[in-house]
Chain A
Amino acid sequence: TQLLEQSPQFLSIQEGENLTVYCNSSSVFSSLQWYRQEPGEGPVLLVTVVTGGEVKKLKRLTFQFGDARKDSSLHITAAQPGDTGLYLCAGAGGETSGSRLTFGEGTQLTVNP
């Protein structure tokens, strides 16, 4: 079974702090996506990274794909209460998953005002 492990599982921080969420696998993926999910809603795509070593920035969010395309990180600068949610990474084109996405367990982020 192909796994994506996310860490930490839970994160509670104060407004203005920085944080990093990690997504690791022993398998290679052709691309990796990050989603954010709020209670009662489905996940919403934040970014897709496809090239090893790629870095993408989305306002205060920075996403990085590892050189070997086995891991990724999400860094949030100066977190705000509106960043609260469940962050999910998902790999596509893995060695066993083929064309469907394999999701990590998620990181539940709480940003306190």
Chain B
Amino acid sequence: GAGVSQSPSNKVTEKGKDVELRCDPISGHTALYWYRQSLGQGLEFLIYFQGNSAPDKSGLPSDRFSAERTGGSVSTLTIQRTQQEDSAVYLCASSFTTGAYEQYFGPGTRLTVT
């Protein structure tokens, strides 16, 4: 079956512009996560969705970041008024449920803010 897919794979944008990053999780997975990864570094948690529960937004670095998940499937991470420090790889993962269950990652979207 298909894995987690993300689009676009690369995005270059000018400072101050808004960007939308998309994630298609594995079908049937109820949990969806967004992470940010700087070059060669570990993963910084941003937000996660679990079923119909309110999302855990505790990792979002500022109010310029938001995410939604429509119909319990596709998710969109939106960054408004992008800054250079937003440049990173944005990874999406899904899992059957939360906790210790295996997370399946997409290939990521590399965002460059010029």
Contacts and interface: CB of A to CB of B under 8 A. Distances in A.
Interface of A: 6, 30-31, 33, 40-45, 48, 50, 86, 88, 90, 92-93, 98-106, 108
Contacts of B103: 45, 101
Interface in B35-56: 35, 40-45, 48, 50, 56
A40 B107 contact: yes
Interface of B: 4, 33, 35, 40-45, 48, 50, 56, 91, 93, 98-100, 102-108
Nearest to B99: A99
Contacts of A90: 43
- Best-buried of A30, A42, A86, A103 by chain B (most CB within 10 Å): A42
B100 A88 contact: no
30 contacts: A6-B42, A30-B99, A30-B100, A40-B107, A41-B107, A42-B4, A42-B91, A42-B93, A42-B105, A42-B106, A42-B107, A42-B108, A43-B105, A45-B103, A45-B104, A48-B100, A88-B42, A88-B43, A92-B100, A98-B56, A99-B50, A99-B98, A100-B45, A101-B45, A102-B45, A103-B44, A105-B42, A106-B40, A106-B42, A108-B40
